[in-house]
Structure 1
């Protein structure tokens, strides 16, 4: 029984399974044979065999079984999609590597698939059958010896790297490069100091590869270009003239090893270079074009810090000012990005809002160049968040100048692709600077009336340059059995993956919406899809209670219910979430939609400790309903992007005094007030739980698969009428507190039928 079902039944929000099954069911439809909707035991056995080699850490599917015919495909009423991490989840020991030496890489000559565990070894040892196109692959003499078959990574594991030769490169492997484009128009000495300290520490700790290149420009009403030539005793700063031409020809990406001392000296004084900020419009667009010009021959990571409004982004392509601000105002950045993706440049944009910064237009860079964006609208925690976010960006292991494609077996084709990418040619995507936190979603469909084989095979290939300068191909393999039975398909649905797939499709529709009416149609699409799935659940007696919870959370999500009718910080915040939701992985995005709620006052002895294997034991979540608040105590809510510690009106005063100190009633509670009483066991458990939810331990970042590196903690007293109290109650999604979507869980289940 799922956690959601236990929580909802206990709180009276859901009828018991027995009561549901006693309700009259719609008449099941016939599909071919009389027993076609029974569990297909052969398919399930096949499923167990497939999962031995499936790359389950890098690929998830909406169901572990896909349809055999187009009729079943249409009648199932779900998107048949896979959510893929092209880079794969980083693992401590790294991905196993296959090295063919001087021999050509062994692959199918017809479809170009790489050999993998799902290929059939024929009786004649010199032949294999391709699982993607079924053609026969001839194996060169002595390349695959029988004694080596069980040792080869490409025949025993679902994910692996292949060392690629010169035939897989059109130029010498690029050097890792970081170019910093820093807005100094606002007074941000603290953040400039943080940036300088992080980069300097990483340089002195030799965190960057010896081949790494560095460059800097700063800008306000002028552009300042920096020369770090090793021939100089100190950095030279050039203030560019109105034409923004470089003062002298040359490469302004500098070898870190050669210019280490001069770069470190510059970083030491970065926060003092501009004591009198120019509080006017900046030269953002000119600085951006200059950065592209400097990076175009090599490529790399472009780190952008922007704070002032960018006037060029607010100029509309027509005379009328837009009434809604969920679309880009103009295509200025898009036109530049269409060239930048060919130069393998990917941006990470850090936005410190000063009024309306037009995040929707900045998102064009994120979308087309596989970039990311960070938004700091709370000045009380922006320094901490900026520290962890920037440090994570610089610590990541990127795949440089990378391209990506997916191959599917006969009978299937790609219907749509969702995420951050640009098209290089045909089915090949430019996936610049891929890393382990972003996903792409591929929606698949049958391209013939009936699939000719019993399995759908997928193989992904990411061709990239490693930080050490090696050309490699990262391969993931996945097998999905197919069936004529909708009941079998529904029994194998991954409910969180299905909900997130529907959400990503809806977000994609919102990205091309013209007005608020289109936003309403997006919500209608979600309701129609949920209603169709719910109807099939009743027909085939396969309850999907967690899916109802996820879909209710989606319908209550702020980005689907916001008007986007103002040029404001809140509009930028909504567009920021729309951007990151496109590439967040399933498990993290679910928490944004259906938060986790824990009762800290009732922690058990076995909660919030690490077991003998080092795994953290989470407390049992409680239901997202007002009743839990009425019961009193201290509650902790994980909203994905932040944590809320909620002090209910009814609470144990002695316990609160132990946690916060005796003056907790009269002081403004912040996280620094916590953990003062080390003798209280709840303090230790609360500390460990917060650290685990943030995915960091003892102030050392654990670079896990979580995009949000620092979730701020807001401490809220019930009745304080603060913004974060309102957020807490809005996130009690099983009740009807959400003012934009007033519907509790039972109402929602009845509404979708």
Structure 2
């Protein structure tokens, strides 16, 4: 069985774990590094939340930066899996940037024969292959096939049946490894950095203005999130086949650029998209420069092909992300980097886990920046459970959020705005109804019962439903607070972002100064003695020689470091249009018709659960 966060498999530097709170909301906590061993005593370790700074020790399973499962205890049978309504899937970031103190990914050269693989299912050798017949034969942990060990790879076994050289071979003791590829794996490609400022009206493909000049209502379908014609998808396919990855920088000088079509082009060729609304060089040049610097410096692989394999009893369902597909099983990436994550749903089709564990393996064939052709193999072993409560205890809130967001976002183009938000809340209701019916220790319907591992489910569901992609325009404010390009940008982000970034997307932090703010606070942070003295236009946050200014700017620098990018920070005086956007982005508070409060959400969920049960 797996170990819970903070128990065996994990230890803090500097302080014990914080006390449990009754209020299930994110809390500011000291940034204490946690040493996380991916396995402990031969058992899977449940990863802590993504907000916890980790030092990862690879003990045979891939670390959570590279592979994160929504379930850390897999229901054994299809009947149990269907009954619990728990989403099962993986969020995979094969080129994730390792922490400075993480175990590095070792490189293994297995000689002229190349990587050792199962002859039946083609899975790569890993820490869970079994060796029998005094080391002369091997048994695949994915399909169970027994086969001869390739010549030159055999090794005698010890008294416990383990290869005597297992601890000296990274592919047999690590969850993540790079294997040197042989000649038949070789390929030959590039990256395109494109800067756009206006609507692409000329050439093929071209775009037309498609934004509706009014606030959207719940009944309105998001048809304009589809690309403007099939030519955009065709262009993406041609780029991917030519091993060209587009990296688009949309420096929006006007109100509309058709980001929806540009997103279809970028994602279809495994590319990326950055959007700078109302681009103003004096204010945005530093952010653009930082984005470019990181785009060139981040870990990346070229001419890549990936495939996800799962063990007997499981099957791979839908995949979401930025990639090109030539076959149903392979994902093609002209280039793939550390900011590019994909997600895949997993189904339990048959009784799983003949050896007590289920396995997933993502293998990525790629060219390193140094020109070496490598196969990066991430393998994850998850324990099987027959218990209902244990399956809920092993749920991963960050991965559940990432998988749910991708599922709903992928369905958004062409779907009614209100139906998108309803889908978010319906997923939460179905899960909580199943928990109450099959796993909860009490049945009192007067209380909203939440699984311990999913205490933040209502809050994150509310935040996701208030995301600009799904938010209806607020006509009473005289403008559409979620423009079409902004919706398309969030569609791209929700479908491609790493799991670590998802919580900050649906639950952003902001600061609001009311009229009663002390003058000393304004003076120390903004250099103004009153709100009226700030002036009518947005302005950058100043850096002053005061303790408060130093502390706030240090906090913002830490947020930028954690999110991996420079953020645009602005002081917005009352009456400026951006202030409306600020209020519409509030999650816990009620903001006009943009959505109810957190308390409203809890009541709505509770009412829906009671109605379903009755």
Q: TM-score, normalised by structure 1?
A: 0.64
Q: Which residue among 200, 207, 221 is the counterpart of 1:314?
A: 207
Q: Which residue among 125, 128, 136 is the counterpart of 1:126?
A: 136
- Whether the 8 Å CA contact 2:78–2:350 is kept in 1: the answer is yes
Say which SS state the counterpart of residue 739 (structure 1) adopts: helix
Q: How does 1:666-685 map to 2 (within 5 A)?
A: 666-668=533-535, 674-677=542-545, 680-685=546-551
Aligned equivalents of 1:729 and 1:44: distance in 2? 49
Q: Corresponding residue for 1:592?
A: 505
Q: Which moved more, 1:156-165 or 1:559-568?
A: 559-568
In structure 2, relative to structure 1, the CA distance for the partners of 1:3 and 1:417 (3 Å cut) is farther
Q: Which digits, 9 at most, give the CA deviation of each residue in 1:409-445, with x for residues without a partner?
A: 1111111111111212241111221111111111011
Q: Which digits, 9 at most, give the CA deviation of each residue in 1:676-697, with x for residues without a partner?
A: 22xx4333322221111111xx
Q: Corresponding residue for 1:599?
A: none
- Whether the 8 Å CA contact 1:399–1:433 is kept in 2: the answer is yes
Say which SS state the counterpart of residue 83 (structure 1) adopts: strand
- Whether the 8 Å CA contact 1:646–1:716 is kept in 2: the answer is no
- Whether the 8 Å CA contact 1:356–1:568 is kept in 2: the answer is no
Shift in Å, 1:579: 1.1
Q: Which moved more, 1:444-453 or 1:501-510?
A: 444-453
Q: Which residue among 546, 567, 573 is the counterpart of 2:456?
A: 546
Shift in Å, 1:727: 3.4
- The answer on 1:739 being equivalent to 2:609 is no
- Whether the 8 Å CA contact 1:370–1:432 is kept in 2: the answer is yes
- Whether the 8 Å CA contact 2:474–2:594 is kept in 1: the answer is no
- The answer on 1:455 being equivalent to 2:455 is no
Aligned equivalents of 1:415 and 1:5: distance in 2? 37
Q: Corresponding residue for 1:95?
A: 105
Q: Corresponding residue for 2:612?
A: none
Say which SS state the counterpart of residue 194 (structure 2) adopts: strand
Q: Corresponding residue for 2:114?
A: 104
Q: How does 1:153-302 map to 2 (within 5 A)?
A: 153-169=170-186, 171=187, 174=188, 299-302=189-192
Q: How does 1:349-364 map to 2 (within 5 A)?
A: 349-353=248-252, 354-364=254-264
Q: Which residue among 521, 542, 555 is the counterpart of 1:689?
A: 555
- The answer on 1:443 being equivalent to 2:345 is yes
- Whether the 8 Å CA contact 1:107–1:137 is kept in 2: the answer is no
- Whether the 8 Å CA contact 2:312–2:352 is kept in 1: the answer is no
Q: Corresponding residue for 1:378?
A: 278
Shift in Å, 1:501: 1.1
- The answer on 1:392 being equivalent to 2:294 is yes
In structure 2, relative to structure 1, the CA distance for the partners of 1:165 and 1:409 (3 Å cut) is same
In structure 2, relative to structure 1, the CA distance for the partners of 1:4 and 1:682 (3 Å cut) is farther
Q: Corresponding residue for 1:533?
A: 431
Q: Corresponding residue for 1:342?
A: 241
Shift in Å, 1:144: 5.0
Aligned equivalents of 2:26 and 2:493: distance in 1? 34
| Structure 1 unmatched ranges of 5 or more | 12-42, 175-298, 597-636, 638-644, 696-703
In structure 2, relative to structure 1, the CA distance for the partners of 1:724 and 1:412 (3 Å cut) is same
In structure 2, relative to structure 1, the CA distance for the partners of 1:533 and 1:149 (3 Å cut) is same
Shift in Å, 1:86: 2.3
Aligned equivalents of 2:18 and 2:315: distance in 1? 34
- The answer on 1:425 being equivalent to 2:306 is no
Q: TM-score, normalised by structure 2?
A: 0.78
Q: Which residue among 43, 47, 50 is the counterpart of 2:44?
A: 47
Q: How does 1:573-652 map to 2 (within 5 A)?
A: 573-596=486-509, 637=510, 645-652=511-518
Q: Which digits, 9 at most, give the CA deviation of each residue in 1:103-125, with x for residues without a partner?
A: 43222111111111122233612
Aligned equivalents of 1:85 and 1:123: distance in 2? 37
In structure 2, relative to structure 1, the CA distance for the partners of 1:6 and 1:384 (3 Å cut) is farther
Larger-gyration structure (1/2): 1
- The answer on 1:520 being equivalent to 2:418 is yes
Q: Which digits, 9 at most, give the CA deviation of each residue in 1:434-469, with x for residues without a partner?
A: 111111111011233666552210111100111222
Shift in Å, 1:65: 1.1
Aligned equivalents of 1:82 and 1:10: distance in 2? 23
Q: Which moved more, 1:502-511 or 1:648-657?
A: 648-657
Say which SS state the counterpart of residue 434 (structure 1) adopts: strand
Shift in Å, 1:142: 4.8
Q: Corresponding residue for 2:214?
A: none
Q: Which runs of 4+ in 1 moved over 4 A?
A: 1-11, 43-46, 48-51, 91-94, 144-147, 449-453, 563-569, 662-665, 669-673
Shift in Å, 1:329: 1.7
After superposition, the CA RMSD in angstroms is 3.2
- Whether the 8 Å CA contact 2:127–2:171 is kept in 1: the answer is yes
Aligned equivalents of 2:399 and 2:80: distance in 1? 20
Shift in Å, 1:2: 8.8
- Whether the 8 Å CA contact 2:314–2:352 is kept in 1: the answer is no
- Whether the 8 Å CA contact 1:4–1:549 is kept in 2: the answer is no
- The answer on 1:710 being equivalent to 2:566 is yes
In structure 2, relative to structure 1, the CA distance for the partners of 1:4 and 1:737 (3 Å cut) is farther
Q: Corresponding residue for 1:495?
A: 397
Kindly tell me the number of residue pairs found equivalent between the two proteins.
526
